Amino acid sequence: MTKFKGQIETIAAIAQIVASAGVILSVIYLATEVRATTTALNAQTHFNALTLFNDHLMSIVEDEQLADIMHRGDTDPDLLSETEWRRYSELMLVAMNTWEYAYYLHEQNAVPDQLWEGGDAAYRDLAANSRGAQRFWRESRGFFAEPFGSYANQFFPEDRTDE
C-alpha cells in the first residue's frame, strides 16, 4: 500500500507540474494574442484617423468650387455668401471633428505620436491663421465638449470682431 501511495503521490506531482506548465503556456499564448490584437487595433485606429483627414481634404481637392469657397473663407469669410458660408462651416465642422477625434485617440495612446504631432500642428496652424476657421470657432465652439474644447480654444486668437 505504501508503494502504491508513493506512486500516486509521484503521479500527482507530475500532473501538477504538467498542469502548471500548461497554465504558463496558456498565459504566454494569451499575452501574445492580446499584443497582436492591440497592434491590429492601433493600426486600424491610425488608418481611421488618416481616412477622416484625407476624406476631408479630397472633398476640397476634387471640387474646384468648394476649393474656391474654402480659400476665400480662410482669407476673408465675410466675403462669402450665406450659402457659401454654410458650406464652409460644414467642412470646418468636419475638420474640427477630425481634430477632436485625433485628440481623444492621442489621449488614449491609440495613435502614434508622429501622427498626432503632425496633424495637431496642421490644425493649430489652421486655428492661428485662417480667419474663416476663427469665425467658425467663435460661432460654434460650444459644439465641442471638454477637455477638447479648452485644448483647441488656446490655439485660436482672441475674438477678432474689429477685423
Residue 110 binned pLDDT confidence (cut-offs 50, 70, 90): confident
Nearest to 137 by CA among 126, 147, 146: 126
Q: Average of pLDDT values for 152-157?
A: 96
Do 127 and 103 contact (CB within 8 A), yes or no? no
Q: What does pLDDT average to over the chain?
A: 87
* Reported pTM: 0.72
Grid cell of 57 as nine digits: 481634404
Q: Average of pLDDT values for 64-93?
A: 96
C-alpha 149/C-alpha 141 separation (Å) is: 7
Q: Average of pLDDT values for 135-152?
A: 96
